[in-house]
Each structure stands twice: as structure tokens, then as C-alpha cells.
């Protein structure tokens, strides 16, 4: 998509520049096109589902009532173990996009994610506010470091990467290509880190569609209440929870 936008912008700016030389177009229109181009690029980096800078799997193709649950930013010392118990109680599994530093702090919990038949993905080492400003080699270093920590503790090599904050840019595209991982986005965002528990519960039930990849966090206090309510609703509504690799028909780990 970025390539098409670049071509259209280049052609438009060239024509407007010629028009400006010939006194047929205003410089302000030229300026407006440049501003629109910048806005499109900013939106493209924020909206992972646009696949603007790089392709991310954001939704399953399933026409069946199947969805996959994903939890970011853990493992968390208290929320994640309770969540694992809850998922086991309802006999469902999920994908946990873990931070390298948290796997290092709570290796036992990371192992129990795997031992309870869930998937672990890579979500960078620090998840700093500045991740998107890093160079591609710095990003690649964090991704590789996190995979090494996960391998050391869980004996698996994740192939799935979720960009911190879902922000994508050319540096991340390069880093992901070099590290050989696949970018995973989402189609349903719970906003569980910013909205009230009741609003999150309502939002999930109102917006769930077949094939959804649901973004949640195993770091919020009310995660258990939210997920139990959602699991009960999903069952009543006839939805089946499948693993992310099953929904997307891709591999979670390197052989």
C-alpha cells in the first residue's frame, strides 16, 4: 500500500509543481498534498491493520464462528497464573505475547504458559515508549534477545511477533524480515488497559466477529473478571476459541 501511495503522491506533486510553474496551480495545493501524505504515513504506522509498512496477520479467514485470544505484556506474577487456571477451567487456550524482561523475571510462569497448552509469542524485550524510534538493528537485537530468553527458559523458538503498541514503520519491517518472524496484529481491541471493566466487557460482546484476533493484556487487575465474563458469553453465542496458529494456519515456532 505504501508503494501505491508514494507513486500517487509523486505523480500528483510533479503535476502540481508543473502547474505551479505555469501559474495554473497554487503552491497551497502542493503544500496540502504534502501534508496529506504525511498524515497517511502517520496513520499507516498507527493502524497495524492497514498493512501499510509491513504485512501483519490481523484476522483469520474463518467464516466459522472461531476466534483466537491473545494476551500482551506478561508474564505477570499474579495475573498470568490466575488467567492460566481460568483458561484451563474452560478448556481453552490463548497466545501470550511476552516481554523478554518479564520472561527473565518469571521463567516458571512462562513455562506454565507452555505446559498449559498455550502459545508464547515475542513482544520485544523492554516494550519501551521509544521502541518505534529505534534503528532496525536495535529492534532486531531486542527481538533476537527475547527469543533467546524464551528459548533458554521454555525450549521453544517463537515465530510470531506482535509490535509494541501495534506501531509499524520501515525500521520494524527490516528488523522483522531479518529475524525471520511474522508480525501479528489484531482485529478486535479490548482497550482493557484504558477503559473501565464494564465498558471492556460490553465492547468485547458487541464487536466480536468470526475470525477475530482479540487483543487483551494479562497485566490488568480485572483481567480475570473480564475474561470469565467473555468466555461465558462466547460459549452462549456459539463461538469456538481456537489457537492463533490454527486460526491463521501458520506455525508458532521454528522447528
- In the residue annotation, 217 being an active-site residue is answered as yes
Q: Which one from 76, 123, 127, 217 is the annotated catalytic residue?
A: 217
What is the closest distance, in whole angstroms, from the C-beta atom of residue 225 to Zn ion in the complex? 21
Could you tell me which stretch among 30-38, 44-52, 59-67, 71-79 binds Zn ion (CB under 5 A)?
71-79
d(CA 226, CA 163): 24
Least distance from C-beta 127 to Zn ion, angstroms? 5
Please report, in angstroms and rounded to a whole number, the separation of the first and last CA atoms in the chain. Answer: 32
Place of cell 501458520: 250
Q: Interface with Zn ion by CB under 5 A: which range of 65-73, 102-110, 145-153, 175-183?
A: 65-73
Residue 229 interacts with Zn ion (CB under 5 A): yes or no: no
DSSP 75-122: --TTHHHHHHHHHHHTT---EEEE-HHHHHH-HHHHHHHHHTT-EEEE
What lies within 8 Å, CB to CB, of 212 at 6+ separation is 59, 60, 67, 68, 187, 188
CB 74 within 8 A of CB 102: yes
Q: Which stretch binds Zn ion (CB under 5 A): 73-81, 148-156, 191-199, 221-229?
A: 73-81
Complex with Zn ion: residue 97 or 253, whichever CB lies closer:
97
Q: Please choose, from the candidates 186, 89, 100, the residue with its C-alpha nearest in 3D space to the C-alpha of residue 148.
A: 100
Whether residue 72 lies in the annotated active site: yes
Please give the C-alpha separations between residue 21 and each of 17, 24, 28, 110, 217, in angstroms, as whole numbers: 6, 8, 13, 63, 55
140 touches Zn ion by CB under 5 A: no
Only one of the segments 58-66, 68-76, 100-108, 131-139 lies at the binding site for Zn ion (rule: CB under 5 A); that segment is 68-76
Choosing from 72, 212, 218, 229, the catalytic residue is 72
Q: Which of 73, 142, 212, 229 contacts Zn ion by CB under 5 A?
A: 73
The residue number whose beta carbon is nearest to Zn ion equals 72
Q: Is 72 in the site for Zn ion (CB under 5 A)?
A: yes
CB of 181 to Zn ion, least distance (A): 16
- Report the catalytic residues: 72, 217
Q: Which residues bind Zn ion (CB under 5 A)?
A: 72-73
Amino acid at each position: 500500500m505504501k508503494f501505491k501511495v508514494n507513486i500517487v503522491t509523486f505523480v500528483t506533486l510533479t503535476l502540481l509543481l508543473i502547474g505551479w510553474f505555469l501559474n495554473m496551480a497554487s503552491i497551497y495545493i502542493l503544500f496540502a498534498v504534502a501534508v496529506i501524505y504525511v498524515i497517511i504515513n502517520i496513520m499507516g504506522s498507527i493502524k497495524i491493520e492497514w498493512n501499510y509498512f509491513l504485512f501483519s496477520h490481523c484476522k483469520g479467514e474463518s467464516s466459522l464462528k472461531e476466534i483466537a485470544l491473545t494476551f500482551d505484556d506478561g508474564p505477570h506474577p499474579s495475573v498470568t497464573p490466575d488467567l492460566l487456571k481460568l483458561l484451563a477451567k474452560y478448556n481453552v487456550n490463548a497466545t501470550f505475547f511476552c516481554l523478554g524482561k518479564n520472561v527473565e523475571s518469571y521463567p516458571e510462569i512462562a513455562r506454565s504458559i507452555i505446559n498449559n497448552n498455550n502459545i508464547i509469542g515475542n513482544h520485544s524485550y523492554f516494550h519501551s515508549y521509544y521502541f518505534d524510534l529505534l534503528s532496525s538493528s536495535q529492534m532486531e537485537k531486542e527481538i533476537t534477545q527475547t527469543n533467546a530468553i524464551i528459548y533458554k527458559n521454555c525450549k521453544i523458538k517463537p515465530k510470531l511477533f506482535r509490535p509494541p503498541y501495534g506501531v509499524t514503520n520501515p525500521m520494524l519491517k527490516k528488523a522483522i524480515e531479518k529475524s525471520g518472524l511474522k508480525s501479528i496484529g489484531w482485529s478486535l481491541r479490548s482497550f482493557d488497559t484504558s477503559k473501565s471493566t464494564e465498558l471492556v466487557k460490553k465492547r468485547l460482546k458487541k464487536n466480536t466477529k468470526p475470525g477475530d484476533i482479540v487483543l487483551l493484556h494479562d497485566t490488568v487487575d480485572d483481567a480475570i473478571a473480564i475474561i470469565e465474563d467473555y468466555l461465558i458469553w462466547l460459549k452462549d453465542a456459539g463461538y469456538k476459541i481456537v489457537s492463533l496458529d490454527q486460526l491463521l494456519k501458520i506455525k508458532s515456532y521454528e522447528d
